[in-house]
Amino acid sequence: MELADKRILLGISGGIAAYKSAELVRRLKDQGADVRVVMTRSAKEFITPLTLQAVSGHPVADSLLDPAAEAGMGHIELAKWADLVLIAPASANLMARMAAGMGDELLTTLCLATPAPVALAPAMNQQMYRNPATQANLATLASRGILLWGPDSGSQACGDVGPGRMLDPLELVQRCALQLQGPQPLAGLHLLLTAGPTREALDPVRFISNHSSGKMGFALARAAAEMGARVTLVSGPVNLPTPTGVTRIDVESAQQMHDAVHAAVADSQIFIGCAAVADYRAAAISPQKIKKTADNEELVLTLVKNPDIIASVGALPNKPFTVGFAAETVDVEQYALGKLQRKRLDMIAANDVSRAGQGFNSDDNALTVFWPGGSQELPLADKLSIARHLLTLVVEHYQCDHRGRP
């Protein structure tokens, strides 16, 4: 529950995207947030207060001059109650009123009165969004520290295509969680990691590869970005979206992955090798498709060793804090500790890929993490939780290693 005990004041202004606000309240509450809703007059033309009362579990506030409402949680109390004010959708008109510092109804007054961060999720027609008046208002609000989340670009309710779509409710929930989490433990650090399989070409249409889905590496990239790191993700061919805020470099072969890592490693403080790199590649890639022939029952391929990417990082004179993975089926601890030493790693995360429901291609994982002189079990959980847990260990040990260093 990423928003447990967080108090979010959700402002809704008048726009067609207001129909998504009920879903947004549900998703915020799924993550443990206490949500109170404030609507502008025109918002009520698009969605009823009754709907939002039902999903939030609290009456909707909409009037500045309602003695009954002020006798309950008055507007100043409401402004002080919030940990975060999120206005979604934020219309062009609402942003103009905020930029002018108006307190002409409850929502604008709350924005003036709250000590909490205020975030806007703009939503409007693309021409209205591009209008210089709207852009000037956005710039004014940004210069005052108002957070601007979105808008997205794409097809709009009115049939236009362009910028002005409200961010998806799940994306907004994620932004709230990032905004409200405590000090970011990886802030100021550059984390470089590899993920996914590599493909080693045999001819123009065939390759050798493996079953790695990239899910663990992508979960690590997402978790590291959420913990404040600048993240560079060197990824083999996978079918996964790039996590928010992560710089992704796509590669195919082990050699390309090696080169991309070495182009970025010099200014990184942490390197995680999560990719399932093919150990061997074809000695020669056939320029034409290899043909099956009537008289050949066997085909012999000559393979040569690929560079060991993580070992080459471990051998650098100013190596980053280096974390490897060991996917094993037997004697997990013994092989993991061997790799820790041989590849000059600071930490290794071992998983038993012979167990059902964890490791390759699965959504869950369990790891045993080893470092020189210690170890810890991370029991079976979804890969994002495992990633956060592993990064917490990385932070502790990185800080230990660097204590006292300039």
Smallest distance from ligand C5P to CB 324, Å: 3
Given 158, 176, 274, 400, which residue is catalytic? 158
Give CA–CA dist 8/17, Å, rounded. Answer: 19
Closest CA to 27 of 167, 168, 165, 170: 170
AA identity, residue 300: V
Smallest distance from ligand C5P to CB 135, Å: 45
Smallest distance from ligand C5P to CB 228, Å: 24
309 touches ligand C5P by CB under 6 A: yes
Q: With CB under 6 A as the contact rule, which of the stretches 34-42, 137-145, 235-243, 271-279 interacts with ligand C5P?
A: 271-279
The count of residues interacting with ligand C5P (CB under 6 A) is: 15
Q: With CB under 6 A as the contact rule, which of the stretches 147-155, 318-326, 358-366, 369-377 interacts with ligand C5P?
A: 318-326
Question: For the chain, how big is the Rg over CA atoms in Å?
Answer: 26
281 touches ligand C5P by CB under 6 A: no
Give CA–CA dist 136/98, Å, rounded. Answer: 12
Smallest distance from ligand C5P to CB 393, Å: 16
326 touches ligand C5P by CB under 6 A: yes
Catalytic residue status for 158 = yes
Q: With CB under 6 A as the contact rule, which of the stretches 131-139, 181-189, 323-331, 357-365 interacts with ligand C5P?
A: 323-331
Choice from 277, 350, 384, 386 touching ligand C5P (CB under 6 A): 277
Shorter beta-carbon distance to ligand C5P: residue 88 or 353: 353
Q: What is the DSSP string of 241-296?
A: PPPTTEEEEE--SHHHHHHHHHHHGGG-SEEEE-SB--SEEESS--SSPPPP-TT-
Residue 285: both structure tokens together? 């890639």
273 touches ligand C5P by CB under 6 A: yes
Smallest distance from ligand C5P to CB 275, Å: 5
346 touches ligand C5P by CB under 6 A: no
Residue 227: both structure tokens together? 């913990």
Long-range contacts of 159-164 (CB under 8 A, 24+ apart): 160/125, 160/126, 160/127, 161/126, 162/126, 162/127, 162/129, 162/130, 163/126, 163/129, 163/130, 164/122, 164/123, 164/124, 164/125, 164/126, 164/128, 164/129
Residues in CB range of 104: below 8 A, 6 or more apart: 97
308 touches ligand C5P by CB under 6 A: yes
How many helices and strands in the chain, by DSSP H and E? 14, 19
Distance of CA 24 to the CA centre of its chain: 18
Site map for ligand C5P, 241-260, x if CB under 6 A? -------------x------
Q: What number of residues does the chain have?
A: 406
Shorter beta-carbon distance to ligand C5P: residue 116 or 234: 234
Shorter beta-carbon distance to ligand C5P: residue 150 or 273: 273
Block residue for tokens 């997402």? 222
339 touches ligand C5P by CB under 6 A: yes
Residues in CB range of 71: below 8 A, 6 or more apart: none
Shorter beta-carbon distance to ligand C5P: residue 124 or 251: 251
306 touches ligand C5P by CB under 6 A: yes
Choice from 10, 99, 176, 310 touching ligand C5P (CB under 6 A): 310
Q: With CB under 6 A as the contact rule, which of the stretches 23-31, 102-110, 301-309, 372-380 interacts with ligand C5P?
A: 301-309
Residues in CB range of 2: below 8 A, 6 or more apart: 31, 32, 173, 174, 177, 181
Give CA–CA dist 146/336, Å, rounded. Answer: 48
Q: Where in 193-232 is the site for ligand C5P (CB under 6 A)?
A: 194
CA angle, 332 then 333 then 335, to 5°? 70
Which residues in this chain contact ligand C5P in the complex, by CB under 6 A? 194, 254, 273-275, 277, 279, 306, 308-310, 324-326, 339
Catalytic positions are 158
